[in-house]
Amino acid sequence: MKKVHSLVATVLVLVLALAIFPGSTLAADNLAPLPAPVQRIYDRTDKAVLENRPGSFWVWGPRVQDSTEDYVESPGGKRQVYYFEKGRLEITDPAKNPNDKYYATSGLLLREMITGQEQVGNAALINRGPANVPLAGDLTPGIADSPTYASLTNLVSFDGSWRSNDLTGQPVAHTLALGGAVSTNAELAQGVTYAMYYKETGHNVAKPFMDFMNQKGTVYENGRYVANQPLFDPLYVFGYPIAEPYWTHVTVAGKAQWVLVQAFERRLLTYTPSNPDPYKVELGNLGLAYVQWRYKTDIKPFYDTDPDYQRPTETLGFQLYNGINGNMQSLTALKRAKAVNGKIVSQEQYQAPDKARYLDATTYRGQPATVETIIVASRTYQRLIVGNQTSNWFYQDTPSPFTWPQNFPAFQIVSLNDQSLDWQAGTSTKTATDITRPLFVNFTEIDGSKYTVGRLISEMNGVILNSTVDVTTPEGAKLTQTTGYSDFNVPNNIVAPPNAIKASSNANQALSLKEALSQPISGNRSFDSYLRAEMSDRQAVVSQAAASNGVLVKFKNGYQSSQAAMLQSNGTLSLAQGWSNPSNGSPVLFNTNSSDLSATLDLLKSDPAVEYAVPNYVRHSAITTFNDPGEGSQYYLNAVKVPRAWDVSTGSKGITVAVIDSGIDLENPDLKGNIAETYNSQKGGTDVTDVEGHGSWTGGIIGAIGNNNVYGTGIAWNTRILAIKADEEDQPGSFSDASVIKALHYATDHGARVINMSLGGPEDSPALRDAVAYATNKGVVVVVASGNAGNSVPEYPASYPKVISVGATGLLGQPAAFSSYGSHIILSAPGVRICNTVRAGQFACPDGTSASAPIVSAAAGLILSVNPNLTADQVKAILIASATPAPGKQVGQRDDKYGYGMVNIGVALRMAATNQFPTLPGDLPQ
């Protein structure tokens, strides 16, 4: 072997390479002489190295092997190829003029190795699989996450089909690890900046590489050495950049080092700061790596498309369920009787088109009681019956009229797109008068309760005869609700009660609606949640009738309100527990004690020192039905291209995502390792016990731990979660504005880069608006569920400026029927059958825009993990520019149901990792 002038480290790497190729040699003595045109190219730069001339370095490197390889356009389908340590030269057309500059070319080796597509003709490719050969350093890496050529698969662009932003002059701080994982380490830059932006392919070139490609030196031409000549024809030797430069952690001769690498069309360049001049920049061992990939590795299948998921198809159970519901909706009248554990709890009557009557069992001051409800169109009447005594009739008017059975939740026709529960059909049974068939489904609710729901249907008459719901709570309690259906199309005599009194919000009024409905019907929270979904019309009435949770007051100049002082002195108002007099212009919560809410608000608003006084509205989590088709059913990960995104990042412990919700299950094995901090905004302290289960679910969608063989996985499963419990202690899943405001301030002040709120309501509150603005003005990405009303009525905080309002799509990628829509929607994400961890260490699959929002929050967290220096607007712009637009729309065009499109986390992460920083659309909702 001839002596060469090179670094010791390079020689050591070369020795390691020789161990892999015992049949090849670096000495030309054992190979046939190179053809003259190839020798001429080689000698121009590398002859000086072989002759030990000072300052010389390898451009092609020692010869590795000669090969005859398939190539469609060559004579006989074969061409001669010459491999060197750092590149390749090939002669495709021997009949060409040997003096032509392109008689011998260097080929697109990087493109083949990165994409995994071996080129055997101008347009002929063989799928081999991306090269898992180290990008730099030792061919047997001493660091587990040292990247390979395959690691660049999702980060390259060969034709400018996507383009990075021009970052000339800015520091190079991105790092690349095995599998394509990208993060940022500002300390590595140490003065290394981007020097030039190539418009041809849309990539930046680092200054050390730019200087290297443009340097001058001594070359061998026409039989002599000529000084001060350009060493390279950059386009011939290197080609255009096809990726951004990345710092990689590798071993060189067994020693760990940070090396900057950049891929060009024809060459790979490395920059090692610890090397002495002039050897800091070197050409990577591309030829050696290519030979290892093409001749020494097993062929692996290469897939250049994202993984997909199985769309649902119609089953017999699905068809029967919808057919029976369609028949039930055609009825003009119906009676139902419900029992829990054998005890009647509700008797119901319905009369088309707009009448209903309920007798619901409850308690009043410890005694058995009944709440009677009559609904006629837009007016709801209620009274309390205790023994032989009855209260007056009270009434409330609702914004929209009650309709039956068209809008009755129990008889909804479900599309495949919205198929939440996978109903199964049992065996038909023939009786003396009918043919019946059972339908059944099993699922888990977010609080960990197990449900078995069954229907017995009449195949002859096409109606439901009875239904059964069996519930087993996490604590082991068992409940059974049975519902019997009767009197189909038999008219019910339902009339409006005379002399009804308009319901008051005054808590002192005898037998008020709040007092009458103070106890749940079943006495069990998890069972009530099922009833909530089934009887949402009645829940809306109860919600409207509930008394205020106090008032939020913002003073113009600190605490200087004469009216507020007077109201406190006479006991009408009192500072709520945990609140103090404001000193920074923030609102403060007052209890209204026994005062009339409207009169109190009028007094406060009349005071010139009061900027606003508003009710402390209650908002609800944006969740609908619940089911559990089994573990491994996280189809939405493929739907939003999460596996492709994980090639770039699975999150960073340096990024915190706050989840303002019902708390979180601290003992859940899929969650506890990622919970960085907890806070209870309702009562202070760190208790975040999740009675509802909603927060454990949304938190799991964002950050459930992956690769731990437990349940499923979160999307950003290496990201820190700040879990904030903000729901009411006596109303799990309900959130007062005061509690949400405190949570927003806490999350912002404690370093959250992203805040997720899967909650909302129809009331616009300036106090809540101010709190959202506090977060967004400090650069926090605020993501909010659009709501589950299925209409265009704005919900808040989803409709506030600068938030990312997220609507839901279903199993077919179409807008979910329940998803609220309108001009404020920014993005959409899957929201039907979203399986993840829930309370009590369970795995469940609820529906709702509550799931869509954390999918986007997780995407934002991943983007910031790749580039923590991005602003909230840049994160938002990347999410919008990478989204899959609504049908018929282009990128950047908005739709009232899809927003700017369904989030595509794979594309979003690639954009962040390759310095693509789009601008926000001009029509962005404000």
Q: Per the structure block, which two tokens stand in for 167? A: 């970052």
Contact predicate 38/104, CB 8 Å: yes
User: Within 10 A of 460 (CB to CB), how many other CB atoms are there?
Assistant: 12
Q: Give the bridge partners for 501, in sequence order.
A: 394
Given 174, 203, 694, 824, the catalytic residue: 694
CA angle 443-446-448, nearest 5°? Answer: 75
Please state, in angstroms and rounded to a whole number, the distance separating the CA atoms of residues 693 and 689: 9
Query: Phi then psi for 250, rounded to 5 degrees?
Result: -135, 175
Whole-angstrom distance, CA of residue 327 vs CA of residue 459: 11
Region of 632 (left: φ > 0; alpha: ψ -120 to 50; beta: rest) is left
Strands 194-198 and 827-830: unpaired
- SS3 (DSSP) at 89: strand
CB 723 within 8 A of CB 709: no
Let me know if 687 is a catalytic residue. no
Fill in the amino acid letter for 451. Y
- Alpha-carbon Rg for the chain in angstroms: 35
CA contacts within 13 A on the Cβ side of 926:
4
What is the separation, in whole angstroms, between the first and last Cα of the chain?
A: 71
Q: Strands 574-575 and 588-591, how do they pair? A: antiparallel
Out of 422, 661, 737, 895, pick the active-site residue.
661
CA distance 875 to 920: 10
Cβ–Cβ under 8 Å, residues 457 and 437: yes
**For residue 185, what are the CA distances in angstroms to 68, 156, 320, 422, 867?**
44, 21, 58, 47, 9
Angle at the Cα of 737 from the Cα atoms of 732 and 740, rounded to 5 degrees: 75
CA angle 470, 474, 475 (to 5 degrees): 100
CB atoms within 10 A of CB 255: 13
Using H for helix, E for strand and C for coil, what is the string for 416-434? HHHCCCCCEECCCEECCCC
Instruction: Give 59's DSSP letter.
Output: S
Task: Name the residue among 700, 621, 625 with its Cα closest to residue 661.
Answer: 621
CA–CA separation, 430 vs 603, rounded Å? 70
Q: Beta-strand (E) ranges in 245-354?
A: 246-252, 255-263, 268-271, 281-283, 333-340, 343-351
Catalytic residue among 512, 529, 548, 850: 850
Cis before 353 (ω within 30):
yes
Residues in contact with 235: Cβ distance below 8 Å, sequence separation at least 6, in sequence order: none
For 442, the token pair is 């099993």
> For strand 367-376 and strand 355-364, is the pairing parallel, antiparallel, or unpaired?
antiparallel
Q: What is the largest CA-CA distance in the chain?
A: 119
CA distance 805 to 792: 13
Helices (H) and strands (E) counted in the chain, each on its own, are 20, 45
* Contacts for 166-172: CB closer than 8 Å, 24+ residues apart: 166/197, 166/204, 167/194, 167/197, 167/204, 167/915, 168/193, 168/194, 168/195, 168/196, 168/197, 168/204, 169/193, 169/194, 170/194, 172/206, 172/245, 172/247, 172/260
Catalytic status, residue 661: yes
In terms of DSSP bridges, do strands 450-458 and 435-444 run parallel, antiparallel, or are they unpaired? antiparallel
3-state SS, residue 75: helix
**CA 443/CA 792 separation, integer angstroms:** 30
Tell me which residues are annotated as active site: 661, 694, 850
